[in-house]
Amino acid sequence: MSRTRVVVTGLGTTNPLGGDAATTWEGMVAGRSGVRRLSEIPGTEDWPELAVSIAAPAAVDPTDVLERVRARRLDRSSQLALVSAMEAWADAGLEQPQADGELDGDRIGIAMASGIGGVQTLLSNYDVMLAKGPRRVSPLAVPMLMANAPAATLSLQFGARAAVNTPVSACASGNEAISLAADQIRLGRADIVVAGGTESAIHPLPMAAFANMMALSKNAGDPATVSRPWDTARDGFVLGEGAGALVLESYEHARARGARIYAEVLGTGITADSHDIAQPDPEGRGGTRALQRALADGEISPSDVAHVNAHATSTPQGDVAESLMLHAVLGAHAEEIVVTSTKSMTGHLLGGAGAVEGVATVLALHHRLSPPTINLDNLDPAVELDIATKPRDLPLGDIVALNNSFGFGGANVAVAFGSV
pLDDT digits (tens, 9 = 90+) for 207-244: 999 999 999 999 999 999 999 999 999 999 999 999 99
Question: Are both 6-256 and 267-418 of the same fold?
Answer: yes
Query: Taking 60 as the threshold, does the pLDDT of residue 29 lie above it?
Result: yes
Mean pLDDT over all residues of the chain?
A: 96
Model pLDDT, residue 1: 62
Query: Taking 60 as the threshold, does the pLDDT of residue 100 lie above it?
Result: no
Which of 7, 12, 6, 36 is closest to 24 using CA atoms?
12
From residue 220, how far is each of 50, 54, 226, 383 by CA, in Å? 11, 8, 8, 26
Alpha carbon of residue 60 to chain centroid: 17
Model pLDDT, residue 102: 73
Nearest 5°: the CA angle 70, 72, 78 is: 75
What would be the CATH architecture of the domain defined by 6-256?
3-Layer(aba) Sandwich (3.40)
Give the CA count within 13 Å in the CB-facing half-sphere of 222.
Answer: 5
Tell me: the pLDDT tens digits for 230-288?
Answer: 999 999 999 999 999 999 999 999 999 999 999 999 999 999 999 999 998 989 999 99
Query: Taking 90 as the threshold, does the pLDDT of residue 95 lie above it?
Result: no
Q: SS3 letters for the chain?
A: CCCCCEEEEEEEEEECCECCHHHHHHHHHHCCCCCEEHHHCCCCCCCCCCCCCEEECCCCCHHHCCCHHHHHCCCHHHHHHHHHHHHHHHHCCCCCCCCCCCCCHHHEEEEEEECCCCHHHHHHHHHHHHHHCHHHCCCCHHHHHCCCHHHHHHHHHHCCCCCEECCCCHHHHHHHHHHHHHHHHHCCCCCEEEEEEEECCCCHHHHHHHHHCCCECCCCCCHHHCCCCCECCCCCECEECEEEEEEEEEHHHHHHCCCCCCEEEEEEEEEECCCCCCCCCCCCHHHHHHHHHHHHHCCCCHHHEEEEECCCCCCHHHHHHHHHHHHHHHHHHHHCCEEECCHHHHCECHHHHHHHHHHHHHHHHHHCEECCCCCCCCECCCCCCCECCCCEECCCCCCEEEEEEEECCCEEEEEEEECC
Model pLDDT, residue 156: 97
Model pLDDT, residue 288: 98
Phi, then psi, of 13 in degrees rounded to 5: -160, 150
Could you tell me what percent of the chain has a pLDDT over 90?
96
Model pLDDT, residue 276: 94
Cα Rg, the chain, nearest whole Å: 20
Domain 267-418 superfamily per CATH = Thiolase/Chalcone synthase (3.40.47.10)
Average pLDDT of the residues in 4-13 = 98
Instruction: Kindly report which listed range (93-102, 191-200, 343-352) carries the lowest average pLDDT score.
Output: 93-102
Give the CA count within 13 Å in the CB-facing half-sphere of 91.
Answer: 23
Q: Which residues participate in catalysis according to the annotation?
A: 171, 311, 348
Query: Taking 90 as the threshold, does the pLDDT of residue 385 lie above it?
Result: yes
Query: Taking 60 as the threshold, does the pLDDT of residue 96 lie above it?
Result: no
What is the domain partition of the chain in residue ranges?
6-256, 267-418
How far apart are alpha carbons 311 and 399 in whole angstroms?
20
Neighbouring residues of 195: CB distance < 8 A, sequence distance ≥ 6: 110, 111, 112, 177, 178, 180, 181, 182, 245, 246, 247, 248, 355
Query: Taking 60 as the threshold, does the pLDDT of residue 162 lie above it?
Result: yes
Query: Taking 70 as the threshold, does the pLDDT of residue 98 lie above it?
Result: no
The b-or-e profile of 321-358 (16+ CB within 10 A means b, else e) is bbbbbbbbbbeebbeebbbbbbbbbbbbbbbbbbbbbb
